[in-house]
Amino acid sequence: MAQVYNWQLGREMDYRFEEAHPERQFAAVFNINRCIACQTCTMSCKSTWTFSRGQEFMWWNNVETKPYGGYPHHWDVKLLQLLEEANPGGQAWNSSQLGDRQPYGVYNGKTIFEAAADKGNEHALGYLPSDEEWTAPNIYEDTAMGAVGVPNESHLEATQLPEHKTWFFYLQRICNHCTYPGCIAACPRNAIYKRPEDGIVLIDQQRCRGYRKCVEQCPYKKPMYRPTTRVSEKCVACYPRVEGSDPLTGGLPMETRCVSTCIGKIRLQGLVRVEDGEWAEDRNNPLYFLTRVERVALPLYPQFGTEPNIYYIPPRWVPRPYLRQMFGPGVDEAIDRYTNPSRELLAVLQLFRASQTIIFRYAIEEGEKLEGTELFNDTAIGFDKNDNEVVRLSVREPFYERPQQFQNSI
Amino acid sequence: MRTSRRWTVLGITLLALMVAVGLTVSDMRLASSQTVTLVAKRSEAQVPADDPFDTVWSRANPVEVPLSAQTVVPPKAGGDRTITARALHDDERLYVLMEWEDDSEDSLVSSQTEFSDAAAVQFPVTPGETIPAFCMGDPNAPVNIWQWKAAWQTDIDEGFVDVEDTYPNASVDLYPFEDEDVFYPARALGNVFAQTERETPIDNLLAGSFGTLTQTSDQIVNGAGEWRDGHWRVLFAREMSVDGDYSQFAEGDSTNVAFAAWDGASDERDGMKSVSQFLTLEVSPDVAEGSGGVTVWIIVAVVLGAVALTLVLALYGRQRQRG
């Protein structure tokens, strides 16, 4: 076991391989507050990558209703339970000392790698979901949290922020293209690799022998076994788009299908620069700004230890203990900053789904104070890889009034 | 009374001696270390590569090989198990037969949690003074592995087992581009696992340490496996001399052989298996004599004779005492 640094845990941890990092890392921010679970992302992924025989049950992108929903069923509850059994009562954070290398403090519990190292038989803690668990991918859709301990009972009184008593939210999930992937640690064949150019994690379809150790030991359950080819497949991060080799891209890095089709504009995806094993300071990269400067976007279950690279702006209305378990101790600060956004944050939030082209840099042009509000009509400008402007959006959306003579036209 | 006991003791000693002689004559050996030799004698009768239960196998000398759990690298699994190994050759091809007990026949991999029973034999690519590590070889002493899989056997016996064979209603109305392999990437890349038309249930592989197992482009090992009454019998057959950097065999030569077995019902796959140490494999010019049926009958006759003799001696002793 090697020792690697996991900034999300604020400490070194055990991992099967020595620390190694790509030049850039595929990353995304999903704003849970905006999602309406229309599943357009899910279907765009399905119709691009998993429409063939043997992939019927595969949803590389899925949106599940929390707290009850899950694809495969109860994947996260099961993982949390395995961790708890391996280290009873120990999954705690010390957030008394924060810093650049430990923005959420220090995780004192065990990761999936450390919990497995105690026994020595496996590289990571995990389980293999059954066929039944992969069915009904949207089970418990829109099912709200009921009254605790009272079956079939909801809180019927009016509810208000900061925490709703009756609540649910949508969790959008793709492969996290982790810095320390569970699947790579698990694969006895070294058939899974992380690309040095963009950190995208892929299963070599020629080397894979369908052992399903990756399915077992990816805590997010995103590698899936395909019975028609007898090997495992996973989200490929639409790499032809991200690398700009898809003819549609015109040679410029382009967002994935699930991101670019999001009608709720909840997703922003790109590439962050990595230097000396850490995200290079790149204040005007929107992903860097949201996760490292404003810290409104948080990793999903950082305690698993894989350093996932999809970041979530947590839902404002959900009870904090649940969110802290899911996104770590950064939840309270993230919700506060999102609820009362800085001028810059408000402007950057406009860039979500503004263009298919990946935004490598943004600039802000300051605007007038909006009458009757505390908001400013600033303009966010996005630039592509070649630093050409690809998008320009103001905080206040332009208002168009249809002329009288076109009132009923379509 | 004393005389009678003396005659009985004599009889039992004779019986034990004769059983020992019988075992020696039939060449049944128990392997416990790598000094034990598996001898592949020359078969004058034809050895069918598709029938592991053919009577020709009664002419081969069985060797009991102990297997134990793979505990060197994670994922670790497997257990203590014994296989019976036999080998023959016919000047052109080498045949290795494995037999072991398995309560369940696990020969499907169409659901997420199904794993196939499997068996493998392993040889050094280059026989010599350096015997590779019995677990997947060494970088400078690679191994040639032949792995048989029950799931592949099912594909051959019954046709490729598809999702619809397990879940008839899983399929949807339309699969766009169904004939284009690119949407079955493992198949498009020539991964043998994804083949729908299989010619052999045995995978020809090379390895030079853990994690390096690599499928070769030459699927040149034939054979067959069959599960009967709680037993698997798996037959591996290959030309003794082949093109490529694979193990080569020749009459009069010796090399090493190791065995592995996987139990699908216990979720065993990859390194989660039971393995043996290396044994010596001798490709002998001697002819595999007589049918096993005859050998068995000789043992039976010897044992029955010994029992009869013991009884006669005991009765004789008793009569002498009375007299």
User: Is pLDDT above 50 for B229?
Assistant: yes
Residue at B171 is within a domain: no
CATH assignment at residue B98: 2.60.40.1190
Q: Which of A51, A215, A227 sits opposite B175 (nearest CB)?
A: A51
Q: Which of A56, A134, A190 sits opposite B112 (nearest CB)?
A: A134
How far apart are the C-alpha atoms of B289 and A118, rounded to whole Å? 55
How far apart are the C-alpha atoms of A30 and A309, rounded to whole Å? 11
Q: How many alpha carbons lie under 13 Å from residue B26 in its C-beta half-sphere?
A: 24
User: Is pLDDT above 60 for B29?
Assistant: no
Q: Do B175 and A53 touch (CB under 8 A)?
A: yes
Nearest chain B residue to A224 by CA distance is: B112
Query: Which residues, 6 or more positions from B115, have their beta carbon under 8 angstroms from its beta carbon?
Result: B106, B109, B262, B264, B265, B267, B268, B269
- Tokens representing B197? 């038309």
Q: Which domain holds residue A284?
A: 2-151+158-344
Q: How far is A157 from chain B (nearest CA, A)?
A: 44
How far apart are the C-alpha atoms of B103 and B127, rounded to whole Å? 36
Residue at A384 is within a domain: no
How far apart are the C-alpha atoms of A154 and A156, rounded to whole Å? 6
Q: Are residues B215 and B303 in the same domain?
A: no
Using an 8 Å CB-CB cutoff, list chain B residues near A129. 112
Q: Are residues B112 and B253 in the same domain?
A: yes
User: Is pLDDT above 90 for A352?
Assistant: yes
Helix runs in A247-285, H state only? 257-260
Q: Looking at the 3D structure of chain A, how many domains does it have?
A: 1
Q: pLDDT digit string (tens) for A291-341?
A: 999 999 999 999 999 999 999 999 999 999 999 999 999 999 999 999 999
How far apart are the C-alpha atoms of A236 and A257, rounded to whole Å? 11
Q: Are residues B26 and B101 in the same domain?
A: no
Q: Is B182 on the interface with A (CB under 8 A)?
A: no
Residue at A269 is within a domain: yes
Q: Looking at the 3D structure of chain B, how many domains does it have?
A: 2
- Tokens representing A132? 């039944």
Query: Which residues, 6 or more positions from A55, have their beta carbon under 8 angstroms from its beta carbon?
Result: A49, A226, A228, A233
How far apart are the C-alpha atoms of B289 and B42, rounded to whole Å? 9
Residue at B66 is within a domain: yes
ipTM of the complex: 0.90
In angstroms, the first-to-last Cα distance of chain B is: 12
Residue at A392 is within a domain: no
Task: Name which of B145, B171, B184, B197 to mutate to probe chain A: the one with the most chain A Cβ atoms within 10 A of its Cβ.
Answer: B184
Q: Give the DSSP letter of residue B182.
A: G
Q: Are residues B25 and B66 in the same domain?
A: no
User: pLDDT confidence of B11, banded at 50, 70, 90?
Assistant: low
Residue at A388 is within a domain: no
Q: How far is B115 from chain A (nearest CA, A)?
A: 8
Q: Do B163 and A129 touch (CB under 8 A)?
A: no
Q: Which of A230-234, B54-58, B166-170, B193-197 has the lowest mean pLDDT?
A: B166-170
How far apart are the C-alpha atoms of B149 and B147, rounded to whole Å? 7
Q: Which domain holds residue B297?
A: 1-30+291-323
Q: Are residues B13 and B83 in the same domain?
A: no
Residue B296 phi, psi (nearest 5): -60, -40
User: pLDDT confidence of B33, banded at 50, 70, 90?
Assistant: very low
pLDDT reported for residue B172:
85
Residue at B173 is within a domain: no
Q: Is B189 on the interface with A (CB under 8 A)?
A: yes
pTM for the structure as a whole? 0.88
Residue at A382 is within a domain: no
Residue at A102 is within a domain: yes
Q: Which of A51, A122, A205 sits opposite B186 (nearest CB)?
A: A205
Q: Do B112 and A233 touch (CB under 8 A)?
A: no
Give, in degrees to the nearest 5, the angle at Cα A322 between A320 and A325: 105
Asked whether the beta carbons of B166 and B110 are under 8 A apart, the reply is yes
How far apart are the C-alpha atoms of B43 and B97, rounded to whole Å? 14
Q: Do A209 and B270 touch (CB under 8 A)?
A: yes
Q: pLDDT digit string (tens) for B91-125?
A: 999 999 999 999 999 999 989 999 999 999 999 99
CATH assignment at residue A201: 3.30.70.20
Asked whether the beta carbons of A187 and A214 are under 8 A apart, the reply is yes
Residue at A357 is within a domain: no
Q: Are residues B284 and B234 in the same domain?
A: yes
Nearest chain B residue to A54 by CA distance is: B163
Q: pLDDT digit string (tens) for A46-80?
A: 999 999 999 999 999 999 999 999 999 999 999 99
B293 or A406, greater pLDDT: A406
Residue at B284 is within a domain: yes
Residue at B174 is within a domain: no
